[in-house]
């Protein structure tokens, strides 16, 4: 049964050079649920990508019943702004999803443009309770649909006791503060000289990777760090299985899928308490939280996990239970219901 046609507007960059993101998988899942889906754009250059998005919105206007747009801060916001304006002129049903820890600051700097985008949408979604709360004064009806993960791909292993094998999974960029991970490792290496840190993620080119390696050399722990770099998303569970403790050192965050995937694998998670993370995982229940850049506290909590097997078991079990709530089996029906509601309402209005 064909439920209708949807247009998804975002960065659908080619694989395997770029890993698929949530919206890639969402369009595939919606297609398997009976929706026809058009995506734009896969162009790697920014201006041609924008042009292709707008061209697709116009040329396919008679085909799709609703359009979905991913909204980020920075230059990517231009895609959302221009796309929503054209869709509004065409009187199309618009769904937007708010992403990214920098969106709150961006909205403060560009209030008029942001308000126009968010108020022009027929429905606003976010995977982050933090963003939902942040923009409630503009839209009180923002829907929370968590980032999904595929539990069938996880390699769950209960950490009955944790070893000093750490993993960090983010992009090498200042936002994710990889140098903090290096400093944490240095503090722990005094008591655990064989401690190992596996750092997984692409180099975003802002110098963070080079700074991290230089710092590790200066602090004498370069041999304790393995840089895996960019890897296929499908391989993430296998890399997570190499470690017992997952550390997240971000300065900004909303609802990181990497953290959920670590929880699904049963790792003990320690993270900075920024953005939406305290709303994603509770301190002392599914994770242990520290203030941003507080290397001493993070090292102390890692040491606590290493010395207290009962704590490791508690965190591992609770993390898995929390991750199960974000499986596709729980999340896809929410998207299916949203688009069914909007397209049915739109059809009734036309009648």
Q: What is the DSSP string of 63-84?
A: T-SEEEEEE-STTHHHHHHHHH
Q: How far from the centroid of its chain's Cα atoms is residue 56's Cα? A: 26
Q: Average pLDDT in the 196-223 region?
A: 96
Task: Please give the pLDDT value at position 22.
Answer: 86
SS3 269: strand
| Contact between residue 160 and residue 317 where contact means Cβ atoms under 8 Å apart | no
**What was the pLDDT predicted at 21?**
83
Interacting residues of 330 by C-beta distance below 8 A, sequence separation 6+: 148, 324
CA distance 67 to 123: 11
User: 268 and 139 in one domain?
Assistant: no
Q: Based on the fold, state whether residues 105 and 28 are members of the same structural domain.
A: yes
| 104 and 194 fall within a common domain | no
> What pLDDT score was predicted for residue 351?
47
How many CB atoms are closer than 10 A to CB 109?
9
17 — pLDDT class (breaks 50, 70, 90): confident
Range of the domain at 184: 151-324
- Whole-number Å distance between alpha carbons of 120 and 86: 11
pLDDT at 18 over 80: no
Q: What is the pLDDT of residues 130-165, one digit of tens each?
A: 999 999 999 999 999 999 999 999 999 999 999 999
Instruction: Give the whole-number percent of the chain exceeding pLDDT 90.
Output: 88
Task: Please check whether residue 189 is in contact with residue 224, taking contact to mean a CB–CB distance below 8 angstroms.
Answer: yes
Contact 150, 326 (CB under 8 A): no
Rg (CA), the chain: 21
DSSP 13: P
- Asked whether the predicted pLDDT for residue 209 surpasses 50, the reply is yes
Say whether both 140 and 56 belong to one domain.
yes
pLDDT tens-digit map of 315-338: 999 999 999 999 999 999 999 999
Average pLDDT (242-246) is: 98
> Is it the case that residue 1 has pLDDT exceeding 90?
no
Check whether residue 163 and residue 110 sit in a common domain.
no
CB 259 within 8 Å of CB 250: no
Looking at residues 101-124, what average pLDDT do you find?
95
Q: Is residue 138 domain-shared with residue 280, that is, in the same domain? A: no
Are 274 and 331 within one domain?
no
Q: Is the pLDDT of residue 348 over 60?
A: no
> Tell me: the pLDDT tens digits for 67-92?
999 999 999 999 999 999 999 999 99
- 265: pLDDT confidence band, cut at 50, 70 and 90? very high
Average pLDDT, the chain: 94
At residue 42, the pLDDT reads: 92
**Residue 268 sits in the same domain as residue 224:** yes
* 26-37 confidence digits (pLDDT tens): 999 999 999 999
- 278 lies in the same domain as 231: yes
What's residue 347's pLDDT?
Answer: 55
How much of the chain, in percent, has pLDDT values that exceed 70? 97
- For residues 190 and 314, membership in a common domain is answered with yes
Cis preceding-peptide flag for 16 (omega within 30 of 0): yes
Q: Are residue 214 and residue 255 in the same domain, yes or no?
A: yes
pLDDT-derived band at 255, boundaries 50, 70, 90:
confident
Q: Is the pLDDT of residue 340 over 70?
A: yes
Higher pLDDT, residue 232 or 220:
220
CATH number of the CATH domain containing 18:
3.40.50.2000
Domain count, the chain: 2
Q: CA–CA separation, 204 vs 211, rounded Å?
A: 13
Q: Note whether 12 and 117 are same-domain residues.
A: yes
């Amino acid at each position: 049964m064909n439920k209708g046609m949807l247009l998804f507007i975002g960065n659908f960059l080619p694989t395997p050079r770029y890993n698929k993101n949530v919206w890639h998988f969402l369009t595939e899942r919606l297609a398997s649920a009976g929706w026809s889906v058009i995506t734009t754009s896969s162009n790697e250059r920014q201006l041609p990508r924008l042009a292709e998005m707008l061209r697709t919105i116009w040329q396919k206007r008679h085909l799709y019943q609703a359009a979905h747009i991913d909204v980020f801060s920075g230059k990517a916001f231009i895609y959302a702004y221009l796309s929503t304006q054209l869709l509004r002129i065409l009187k199309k049903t618009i769904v937007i999803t708010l992403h990214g820890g920098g969106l709150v600051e961006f909205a403060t700097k560009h209030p008029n443009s942001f308000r126009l985008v968010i108020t022009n949408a027929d429905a606003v979604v976010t995977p982050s309770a933090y963003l939902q709360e942040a923009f409630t004064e503009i839209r009180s009806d923002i829907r929370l649909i968590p980032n999904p993960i595929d539990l069938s791909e996880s390699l769950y292993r209960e950490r009955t006791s944790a070893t000093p094998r750490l993993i960090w999974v983010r992009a090498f960029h200042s936002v994710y503060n990889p140098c903090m991970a290096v400093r944490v490792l240095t503090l722990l290496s005094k008591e655990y000289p064989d401690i190992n840190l596996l750092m997984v993620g692409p180099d975003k080119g802002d110098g963070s990777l080079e700074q991290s390696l230089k710092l590790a050399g200066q602090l004498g722990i370069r041999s304790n760090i393995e840089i895996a770099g960019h890897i296929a998303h499908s391989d993430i569970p296998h890399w997570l299985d190499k470690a017992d403790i997952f550390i997240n050192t971000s300065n900004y965050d909303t609802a990181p899928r990497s953290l959920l995937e670590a929880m699904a694998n049963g790792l003990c998670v320690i993270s900075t308490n920024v953005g939406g993370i305290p709303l994603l995982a509770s301190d002392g229940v599914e994770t242990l939280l520290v203030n941003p850049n507080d290397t001493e506290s993070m090292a102390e909590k890692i040491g606590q996990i290493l010395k207290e097997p009962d704590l490791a078991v508690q965190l591992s079990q609770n993390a898995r239970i929390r991750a199960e709530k974000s499986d596709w089996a729980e999340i896809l029906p929410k998207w299916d219901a949203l688009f069914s509601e909007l397209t049915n309402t739109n059809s009734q209005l036309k009648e």
